[in-house]
Structure 1
């Protein structure tokens, strides 16, 4: 495993995107536990893209404009839904660490969907992995899976770090309705902006 791969992976993962935004939101709204759960969900959402790349499904998605557009706009619709639910949320925050029943399941499900419904992630792996593995070489699949596993581990660690930091400063938000409204509005606008960017991207 090369140092170049690790550095490239760290840069890609640390660059803010939908997963980072969602993990930050989870940390600010529900605390450290939910931020780690969100990071885990975003990481698990990478698995289908890895499998698609390894099995060659990514090539099909890349070749089919219709398939790419369908997945892309499902992702756009989901980001719009997240923005809407963020704005509709009128619950207050607390520091007692108690979460509503089923909240962990809801957090991890949303996090998984965020990455599953992002066709650009499959395109990334299709372009990224061959730079470090020759697909025609012997043992290429195990090596691709190994590198993908490292990518996922880095994703979890970095995302969890973002979320834990957000959870550490959430006490500055609790009890301040104006700050809370600003925070929710900012996340909603960010989700909409990310959705718009995804809608305008091409293969």
Structure 2
């Protein structure tokens, strides 16, 4: 049931940089490998509610409920703008700086999870992505969706970890340049702001 076509499709989707990748890169550059691994873990588990919604058919409810979709969307927009502020703020959670602050791993993971939880388009995305790869047997459809979702999560975590390790390795090359670190912080802030603007214009 886990076909090569599904694996390649899922891999392409995961590799394309999105909000979770940006967050993982920011933590890797700003705080090192440990923080990047927690970020990857949080972003991965943040897709669980959306996979569950797609499996149980709740994604269709979200898609047809304009009020619910809008509420989740604007919460996501506000959260992305908050992350942009954290990238600009001296000592902020996403600010790239020479001193390695030791944030709680669970706090890093929670922020990463919220990034995906507050994106209402993910449920609809999984509802479109997974069903074409099912066997067509109604009795096993739920189990198949769960298995495909688990494989997608594993790929997500693996790819995000690689992004994070790359960012952490690059961090050591940047510590000696305050100008580069400031530029990176402003760049992350601009990216999160742009992602917030894009989400604001999304429609159910």
- Using structure 2 for the length normalisation, give the TM-score: 0.93
Alignment of 1:17-166 (within 5 A): 17-90=18-91, 92-94=97-99, 99-100=101-102, 102-133=103-134, 137-166=138-167
Runs ≥4 in structure 1, deviation > 6 angstroms?
none
Aligned length: 199
What do the CA deviations read for 1:75-109 (whole angstroms, capped 9, x no partner)?
11100000011101347324xxx642x43122111
- Using structure 1 for the length normalisation, give the TM-score: 0.93
Shift of 1:133: 1.7
1:173 paired residue number: 174
Shift of 1:34: 0.9
What do the CA deviations read for 1:122-149 (whole angstroms, capped 9, x no partner)?
1101111111126762211111000000
Does the CA contact (< 8 Å) of 1:135 and 1:141 recur in 2? no
1:12 paired residue number: 13
Partner-residue secondary structure (3-state), 2:187: helix
Shift of 1:161: 0.4
CA distance in 2, matches of 1:49, 1:81: 22
Shift of 1:175: 2.9
Shift of 1:52: 1.1
Partner-residue secondary structure (3-state), 1:169: helix
Does the CA contact (< 8 Å) of 1:79 and 1:194 recur in 2? yes
| Structure 1: tracts of 5 or more residues without a match | none
Does the CA contact (< 8 Å) of 1:49 and 1:116 recur in 2? yes
Partner-residue secondary structure (3-state), 1:202: coil
CA distance in 2, matches of 1:136, 1:123: 22
CA RMSD of aligned residues (A): 1.5
Shift of 1:171: 1.1
What do the CA deviations read for 1:19-52 (whole angstroms, capped 9, x no partner)?
0000000100111111111000000001111111
Partner-residue secondary structure (3-state), 1:151: helix
